[in-house]
Amino acid sequence: MRITFLGTGGARFVTIMQIRATGGWILEMEGEMIHIDPGPGALVRAKQYGVNLRKLTGIAISHVHSDHTTDAQVVLEAMTEGTLKKKGVVIGNEYVFRGDGENFIPVFSKYHLNSLARYEIMEPGKKTSLGKLGIEAVSAKHTEPKCLGYVFSGKSMKVGYTADGEYYQGQEKHFAGCKYLLINCHRPKESPLKGYMDSEGARKLIEKVKPEKAILTHFGMKMMRGVAEKEARWIQEKTGIKTIAARDGMVIDSEDKKGSSLDKFLN
Ligand SMILES: [Zn+2]
């Protein structure tokens, strides 16, 4: 299992100023390679960090906000060899494929969808698979009402991703048994905002899920200048669970013989 961060920034101002990159993240597990939330710059960051997007077998999108979707069509083109091959799978919520008829247009054109082996509209509790990799969509409480988190299940481990959204009661049950838990933590505990995760919400979730390692990412402005790292340390102290703030280009490799390469990032 390997995770590569093509960006750890999120929300409006970090994105438009590119204070941190916003290319989403790549999961390699059970022989599959999935790009999750390919936001602005995903293509360029993949090049920068040596990730070959032509090897992708899937794209998973949590919701239609632009910091999660801007590069989705060109990433799909990489996956399908410039749409010349009918391959790859895209999953996302209803708005990703249909828009909402008012505020959001669909993320992909028909032309792009036609080049896929398959695409699937997901909703909370729905399960699908990509080869040997199981994927379940879970609900998220975000300002985009159909936002979805995902749980990826392989033979020997599960990786959970909250996507955007505030902590809600019962969220932990969706991520039970996850070895790694990725949390889009926009804000520090002192600055909560409805619909967004802050570090107090992340602490609650981590305490209840008890993953082996928790990884915070998708930081907003208030998490810049070392605050994200400080909040991760605070969560680790409070919960006793290894918690890190992801960095752009960071790679987590569970198969690293010398110990997880994540360990060098741990506080
Ligand atoms: Zn969002």
- What is the average pLDDT across 126-140? 98
Residue 179 backbone dihedrals phi, psi, to 5 degrees: -75, -40
Sheet holding 127-130, edge to edge: 127-130, 133-139, 148-153, 158-161, 180-184, 213-217, 242-245
Distance (Å) from CA 144 to ligand 1 centroid: 6
* Global confidence as pTM: 0.95
The number of angstroms, rounded, from the C-alpha of 26 to the middle of its chain's C-alpha atoms is 8
Distance (Å) from CA 145 to ligand 1 centroid: 10
Total residues found in the chain within this entry: 267
Distance (Å) from CA 62 to ligand 1 centroid: 9
* pLDDT band at residue 226 using 50, 70 and 90 as cut-offs: very high
Distance (Å) from CA 220 to ligand 1 centroid: 11
Query: Cβ(90)–Cβ(59) under 8 Å?
Result: yes
Distance (Å) from CA 84 to ligand 1 centroid: 31
Exposure of 128 by Cβ count < 10 A (0-12 exposed, 13-18 middle, 19+ buried)? middle
Distance (Å) from CA 257 to ligand 1 centroid: 36
- What is the average pLDDT across 237-261? 86
Distance (Å) from CA 108 to ligand 1 centroid: 18
Distance (Å) from CA 85 to ligand 1 centroid: 31
Which pLDDT tens digit goes with each residue over 145-154?
999 999 999 9
Does domain 2-253 sit in CATH 3.30.420.40?
no
- List the structure tokens of 66: 């632009």
- What is the C-alpha R_g of the chain? 17
Where are the chain's structural domains? Answer: 2-253
